[in-house]
Amino acid sequence: MKQFILFSITLLLVLGLSCGNKEGNVIRIGLIIPITGDVKTFGESVRNSVILAVSEANAKGGVNGKLIKIISADDKNDPTEAANAGSKLINQDKVKFVIGSVASKSSIPLSEICQESKVVMITPTSTNPKVTVRDDGTRKDYVFRACFIDPFQGTVAAKFAVEYLKAKRAAVLYDKSNDYSTGLADFFKDNFTKNGGVISIFESYGKDDVDFSALLTKVRADKPDILFLPDYYTKVGLITKQARALGITAKFLGGDGWDSPEMTKIAGDAINGGYFTNHYSPQDPRPEVQEWVSKYQAKYGQKPDALGTLGYDATNLLIEAMRAAGTEKPEAVRDALVKMSNFPTVSGNITFDAFGNPVKSAVILEYQNGEQRYVTQVQP
């Protein structure tokens, strides 16, 4: 029996089109996200935003005279589940476009399947370079992303640590089984040392670990200025809480995996004063950001996080490429994405580089009193 949960979200609004719209007159897009598992809030945010973007497009008549149907699968944040879901959506449901997944470890195997099948894939949130590039350095030309990549995120975090936080010594703890975590750890390490800092501890843990006292005892003895934690909120919340309980006073720093309303529920007050790199902030005064925050909050009763925002951006990028191509042929839509220049999205104007990665800015956020506070924006 298949291990993944497959369910269909049909978003067929009748504004301007017949209620009797036939299945052949719709554009089917696969959505692969974690709705269960350790980062389910990420999947929920992306799903909400994709639904909102598709609803808006269908309300305006769809794309090229057709409405959009989303066929969604739960990958549980597991690489095998993601690969199975991709194969099912492509071979049985005949989708030609895939949005997903959330985590790099799931998006990497999914990208191989989409590339081989010549299905256009755009991940909203997977930041590991391997998503769009093969091990030999060649481009997966049917694969794109809406988020910046880990080398940039690691560079931003390291520069912020040295120049803003005046850090000279850093400890790094990361999940050795997680492509996102290991990649970001390595990029931070390289750039922190290039900026004159010293990485005094560089240690890994397992994906199922919940007791970090042994590693944190080493950190406490080392007394670093920064404890860099490139992982998701589920692990970071536990680590920061245990670190403060042991008396560690280092400032916490991490990546976009920290962005979840669950973070403060897990970490409590321990996360206050912690900084992380992210793709956008709801406090950004730009009109397009405030309009997005207002309509998401009106529909779902909460402010959109960065994961949801990137889901909205990824969907709109794909829809715009279909319109620009004037067809749903994957090759033509791929070419339209490549040609996009300075396309406006909530998280910033996007132009894709030679590897399907957007060139755009990053922001630094800080947790204060259980809330995220916008600190600064960093240009590429």
**Where residue 252 falls among pLDDT bands split at 50, 70, 90?**
very high
Do residues 76 and 119 share a domain? Answer: yes
Given a cut of 70, is residue 301 above it in pLDDT?
A: yes
Q: What pLDDT is recorded for position 22?
A: 54
Mean pLDDT of 321-325: 98
Helix 104-117 to helix 179-194 angle (10° resolution) is: 110
Mean pLDDT of 308-324: 98
Do residues 81 and 132 share a domain? Answer: yes
Whole domain around residue 185: which residue ranges?
A: 150-278+363-378
Given a cut of 90, is residue 380 above it in pLDDT?
A: no
Amino acid at site 377 = Q
3-state secondary structure the chain: CCCCEEEEECCCCCCCCCCCCCHHHEEEEEEEECCCCCCHHHHHHHHHHHHHHHHHHHHCCCECCEEEEEEEEECCCCHHHHHHHHHHHHHCCCCCEEEECCCHHHHHHHHHHHHHHCCEEEECCCCCHHHCECCCCCECCCEEECCCCHHHHHHHHHHHHHHCCCCCEEEEEEECCCHHHHHHHHHHHHHHHHCCCEEEEEEEECCCCCCCHHHHHHHHHHCCCEEEECCCHHHHHHHHHHHHHCCCCCEEEECHHHCCCCHHHHHHHHHCCCEEEECCCCCCCCHHHHHHHHHHHHHHCCCCCHHHHHHHHHHHHHHHHHHHHCCCCHHHHHHHHHHCCCECCCCCCECECCCCCECCCEEEEEEECCEEEEEEEECC
Mean pLDDT across the chain? 92
Q: What pLDDT is recorded for position 21?
A: 46
**Where residue 285 falls among pLDDT bands split at 50, 70, 90?**
confident
How many percent of the chain have pLDDT more than 90? 88
Residue 356 located in a structural domain: no
**Where residue 12 falls among pLDDT bands split at 50, 70, 90?**
very low
Q: What pLDDT is recorded for position 92?
A: 97
Do residues 193 and 206 share a domain? Answer: yes
Given a cut of 50, is residue 135 above it in pLDDT?
A: yes
**Where residue 377 falls among pLDDT bands split at 50, 70, 90?**
confident
Do residues 89 and 119 share a domain? Answer: yes
Q: What are the backbone dihedrals phi and psi of residue 51, each rounded to the nearest 5 degrees, phi first?
A: -60, -45
d(CA 68, CA 223): 54
Residue 326 located in a structural domain: yes
Encode pLDDT of 157-211 as tens digits.
999 999 999 999 999 999 999 999 999 999 999 999 999 999 999 999 999 999 9
Q: What pLDDT is recorded for position 16?
A: 33
Given a cut of 80, is residue 8 above it in pLDDT?
A: no
Given a cut of 90, is residue 27 above it in pLDDT?
A: yes
Do residues 21 and 81 share a domain? Answer: yes
Q: What pLDDT is recorded for position 1?
A: 36
d(CA 104, CA 108): 6
Task: Indicate the number of domains in the chain.
Answer: 2
What is this structure's pTM?
0.83
Do residues 224 and 370 share a domain? Answer: yes
What CATH number did the domain enclosing 191 receive? Answer: 3.40.50.2300
How many percent of the chain have pLDDT more than 70? 93
Do residues 229 and 367 share a domain? Answer: yes
Given a cut of 80, is residue 104 above it in pLDDT?
A: yes
Q: What pLDDT is recorded for position 261?
A: 87
Do residues 195 and 309 share a domain? Answer: no
Do residues 201 and 266 share a domain? Answer: yes
Residue 259 located in a structural domain: yes
Residue 355 located in a structural domain: no
**Where residue 2 falls among pLDDT bands split at 50, 70, 90?**
very low
Helix 306-325 to helix 330-339 angle (10° resolution) is: 110
Residue 357 located in a structural domain: no
Q: What pLDDT is recorded for position 364?
A: 95
Given a cut of 90, is residue 5 above it in pLDDT?
A: no
Q: What pLDDT is recorded for position 165?
A: 96
Do residues 263 and 291 share a domain? Answer: no
Q: What pLDDT is recorded for position 13?
A: 35
Do residues 133 and 273 share a domain? Answer: no
Mean pLDDT of 45-69: 97
Q: What pLDDT is recorded for position 23?
A: 57
Q: What's the full length of the chain, in residues?
A: 380
Given a cut of 90, is residue 6 above it in pLDDT?
A: no
Residue 262 located in a structural domain: yes
